[in-house]
Each structure stands twice: as structure tokens, then as C-alpha cells.
Amino acid sequence: MTRVKRGKIATKKREKLLKKTKGFLWGRKSKERQAKEALLHAGEHAFRGRKLKKRTNRQDWQVCINAAVREHGLTYSKFIKLLKDKNVLLDRKIMAEIAKDYPKVFAKIVEKIQEK
């Protein structure tokens, strides 16, 4: 019977795990058991962080739109209501970018939705 050398798959698995924990502190970057535990928790926090990022971005867009709309004598809530009444299908992200980068275009949008 020929000799079988083992451990190739286990070594690759370990290397892959430790590659993902590069930059972690203490034994969490070099010891397999601690690295596995650290990755578990890191994954949970990353998931939550992605949800939080969406939430905070939306808040930032609202603040930006509110600041731009106040210059035209409106509040954010009234502006959003007017947008919905006039069926303007621009989302908050786009409106915030327009307000920041193209104030003249934003002024035209506000003027257009205020018409009766």
C-alpha cells in the first residue's frame, strides 16, 4: 500500500481562515480557535453595520434636502408631501445630490412643485 500524506485540505482551510483575520489583535489573528470565534462575531457586526449604514445615509440625505429646501421657504416634510402629490419620482439620494451639486436645478424643481 502506498503512503498517504494528509493535512493538505486542513492546512488550506486554516490558511484561509487566518487570512480573513489578518489585522485582528492578539491571538485572534494567529490562533485557529480564537480566529474562528473572532470571525463569527465580526460577521455579525458587519451585517448590522450594513443596515446602520443605510439608515445613517438616509438621515444625511434628509438633512441635506431640508437645508436646501429651507432656502426656498419650505420645510422637509412639506417638500416631501408636495413631491408625492405631484408624482415626482426622485428619491432622497438623488434629491440630496441635486441640492448639493446643482442648486439652480434644485430651485427649478422646488418652483415646479409649488405651482398650483
For domain 8-114, give the CATH number.
Answer: 1.10.1900.20
- Is pLDDT of 116 > 80? no
Question: Residue 76, Cβ neighbours under 10 Å: how many?
Answer: 17
- Rounded Cα distance between 39 and 59, Å, is 30
Report residue 33's pLDDT band, with 50, 70 and 90 as the boundaries: very high
User: End-to-end alpha-carbon separation of the chain, Å?
Assistant: 91
Report residue 41's pLDDT band, with 50, 70 and 90 as the boundaries: very high
- Rounded Cα distance between 66 and 92, Å, is 11
3-state class of 13 per DSSP?
helix
Of 20, 21, 4, 94, which Cα lies nearest the Cα of 58? 94
Could you tell me the residue ranges of all domains in the chain?
A: 8-114
- Is pLDDT of 67 > 70? yes
Mean of pLDDT over the chain: 94
